[in-house]
Amino acid sequence: MKLIVGLGNPGEKYARNRHNIGFMAVEQMAADHGFPAWKGKHQGSVTEGRFGSIRAVLLRPETFMNKSGDSVAAAMRFYKLEPEDVIVLHDELDLAPGKVKFKMGGGHAGHNGLRSIHKHLGPNYGRVRLGIGHPGHKDRVPGYVLHDFSKADADWLDDVLRGLSDGAPYLAEGDNAKFMNAVSLRTAPARPSTGTKGPAKAAAPTAQAPQTKEPTEPHDKQSALQKLMARFK
């Protein structure tokens, strides 16, 4: 079994915030893979189902970001899981918008949700880092992450969420390469290849009617006096 956690803050006020991309991701997975309705448990909302042969629990902690670890630890104890069975999806300031990376273990890099989870689980759990970009200065970070995605973000955000959902079965299986490939097929689809075809032939020139060259008069080099004398010869 896998416990797949999406980080965010509860409530409609925060629903479209950049900080809530983890919530959005697990909600997309649940909807696409036929998981049942969410239920309130373990200081959060959960839904249980399967990705192929792998049983999985999707969790949205509702303790607010700074206490996410309380909910994750409660669910982990209930299902008798180890930290290695937990995968957390979270916003990542240090990745460009639309970029996704998987890592196992490591630090929390100042992310309050991860910091809280570290206190309960230690560092040895999986993370899916979801790039949202950086506002440029650390003082602007709180307002940036607690602000809604803009209309300009809509296309790449949809691609990322659908890619994560496509790759969820591989994520549950622990096949991280296939998971990342599934995401990439949505976020950076391969361009059509020309294969063995040679370069396109240039279009044949359009036939044009031959142009008739206008006769030109010889350049008259005679002076006015010479012309006058010629008239009297």
Closest C-alpha among 11, 27, 15, 7 to residue 148 = 15
What residues contact residue 215 under an 8 Å CB cut-off, 6+ apart? none
Q: Alpha-carbon distance 2 to 152, whole Å? A: 34
The stretches of the chain forming alpha helices (DSSP H) are 21-32, 68-78, 112-121, 141-145, 154-173, 176-187, 224-230
Catalytic residues: 19
Beta pairing, strands 44-51 & 100-104:
unpaired
Closest C-alpha among 73, 74, 67, 10 to residue 42 = 74
Q: Alpha-carbon distance 178 to 51, whole Å? A: 14
Going by the DSSP 8-state scheme, the letter that residue 188 receives in this structure is S
Closest C-alpha among 163, 184, 143, 176 to residue 24 = 163
Determine the longest span between alpha carbons in the chain, in angstroms.
128
Q: Residue 130 phi/psi, 5° resolution?
A: -110, 105
Q: Are the C-beta atoms of residues 49 and 4 closer than 8 Å to each other? A: no
